[in-house]
Amino acid sequence: MVCPKCFAEIPDVSAFCMECGSRIREDTLDPLYAEGSDREVYPELARANLLRMQGKYDEAVEVCRRILGRFPSNETVHALLGDIYADQGKLEDAIQWYELLAELAPGNVRYTAKLHQLRALHAAQVAPPPPAPAPEVKPAKPKVFAYTLFAMLALILVVAAFVAGARMNAPRESAVSPAPREQATLAPTAPTGSERVPPPTLAEPTPPAPAPSPTSPSAFAGMSAAEANLAQKLSHRLNGAPVWCAFEPNTNRWHARIRIQSGVLSKTRVLQEALALARAFYEFYPNAPNVGIAVIAPSANGDDVLIFAGELSPQQAGLDPKSLSEQQAQALLQQLQAWWNPTISFQG
């Protein structure tokens, strides 16, 4: 019997190639044979997975690379390497390993679904976070009292100068050209009500325009008008929480992200935020098959860090996040294909 990939001669009863590790038979009942050459390297695979669980990622990668030196087409090693890099947050490396795995096993639905999930997580990770809200600028209060006092002093000085000038010019005019007794002097008439001119008033300073709110479209840099419009609507439904949206035209899928402002960081709390965002999304897009949800939170140094990413269907989003019990949260965690940041210590 000849291997169809490396053309090496192998026994007729073999389920995998001993040279390249490719799967030869699909009808075997042995689950280890069904994974290709896993029977041959099972102890090494178990050791690599144990090192991964202990957080010794470099040693686990080294063990996997030694296995690939003997069996380059071993599917389990490719999947384990992708999971090791995904646990470290190195999503680009994880995507490369799962792309190779998809080429080795194009008919495996589980590998294809994991590859789509990693791509969605990477798209949410590299997206720019929503900008911080601009500080509110309070308009300066006009100093009405100071302006009024200044106007009164100016008016007093003008009246005093006018009276002093009139007194100085009165003797000169009487000596040069005395007025006849018959000539009547016209007293200035007081202006009527329609002719009265209102006293000048001080114009109050115009207050500056208010700063844009965090939910206005201008505050979401890097998004299109449609994405910013949806983000604004979702933020309004979620009591003003910062929301970011992106649309993938290649896959015709939406992604949405929300930022946890404060509170106890537990997996139940994160699920509540994710459910609330997904539930608000499906109110606008009820026919969407699923939506990618990401949750970020501020770290100790003030930067935002991604803590959760996954896909939620309309059925899963039907749960009420306000009344989500621990039993419902545990059941949802078991059926939800999601990524949790391994560097975060969740409470509860």
Q: pLDDT tens, 94-124?
A: 999 999 988 888 888 888 899 999 999 989 8
pLDDT at residue number 24: 65
pLDDT at residue number 87: 92
CB-based contact 207:139 (threshold 8 Å): yes
pLDDT at residue number 65: 92
Give me the helix-helix angle, 75-87 and 57-70, nearest 10°: 160
CA distance 243 to 254: 13
SS (H, E, C) the chain: CECCCCCCECCCCCCECCCCCCECCCCCCCHHHHCCCHHHHHHHHHHHHHHHHCCCHHHHHHHHHHHHHHCCCCHHHHHHHHHHHHHCCCHHHHHHHHHHHHHHCCCCHHHHHHHHHHHHHHHHHHCCCCCCCCCCCCCCCCCHHHHHHHHHHHHHHHHHHHHHHHHHHHHHHHHHCCCCCCCCCCCCCCCCHHHCCCCCCCCCCCCCCCCCCCCCHHHCCCCCHHHHHHHHHHHHHCCCCCEEEEEECCCCEEEEEEECCCCCCCHHHHHHHHHHHHHHHHHHCCCCCCEEEEEEEECCCCCEEEEEEEEECCCHHHCCHHHCCHHHHHHHHHHCCEEECCCCCCCC
CA distance 64 to 194: 99
Q: Using 50, 70 and 90 to split pLDDT, how confident is the model at 141? A: low
Q: pLDDT tens, 33-60?
A: 434 466 677 788 888 888 988 999 999 9
Cβ contacts of 105 within 8 Å, gap of 6 or more: 75, 111
pLDDT at residue number 333: 82
Is 90 exceeded by the pLDDT of residue 169? no
pLDDT at residue number 265: 80
pLDDT at residue number 242: 92
For the residues 182-194, what does the mean pLDDT come to? 42
| Cα dist from 314 to 33, 286, 319, whole Å | 38, 8, 9
Please tell me whether the overall predicted TM-score, pTM, comes out greater than 0.75 for this model: no
Q: pLDDT tens, 206-218?
A: 334 333 333 333 3
Is 70 exceeded by the pLDDT of residue 145? no
CA distance 210 to 138: 8
CB-count burial class (<10 Å; 0-12, 13-18, 19+) for 198 = exposed
Domain parsing of the chain, residue ranges = 31-126, 217-340
Give the angle 248-254-260 at the CA atoms, nearest 5°.
125
Q: pLDDT tens, 222-245?
A: 789 999 999 999 999 998 889 999
Q: pLDDT tens, 256-315?
A: 999 987 777 888 888 889 999 999 999 999 999 899 999 998 877 778 889 999 999 998
Per the prediction, the chain carries an average pLDDT of 75
pLDDT at residue number 176: 41
Range from 129-133, 194-198, 257-261, 323-327 carrying the lowest mean pLDDT: 194-198
Pairwise pLDDT comparison (74 vs 160), residue with the higher score: 74
For the residues 70-81, what does the mean pLDDT come to? 88
* Closest to 251 measured CA to CA, from 222, 291, 286: 291
Is 50 exceeded by the pLDDT of residue 4? yes
31-126 — its CATH code? 1.25.40.10
Side chain identity, residue 95: I
CA distance 240 to 243: 8
Is 70 exceeded by the pLDDT of residue 85? yes
Computed over its alpha carbons, how large is the radius of gyration of the chain?
39
Pairing of strands 304-312, 291-298: antiparallel
In the chain, what percentage of residues exceed pLDDT 70?
66
Pairwise pLDDT comparison (63 vs 15), residue with the higher score: 63
Tokens linked to 219:
């505050």
pLDDT at residue number 146: 65
Is 60 exceeded by the pLDDT of residue 16? no
pLDDT at residue number 278: 92
CA distance 346 to 269: 10
The residue to which tokens 């059926």 are assigned? 335
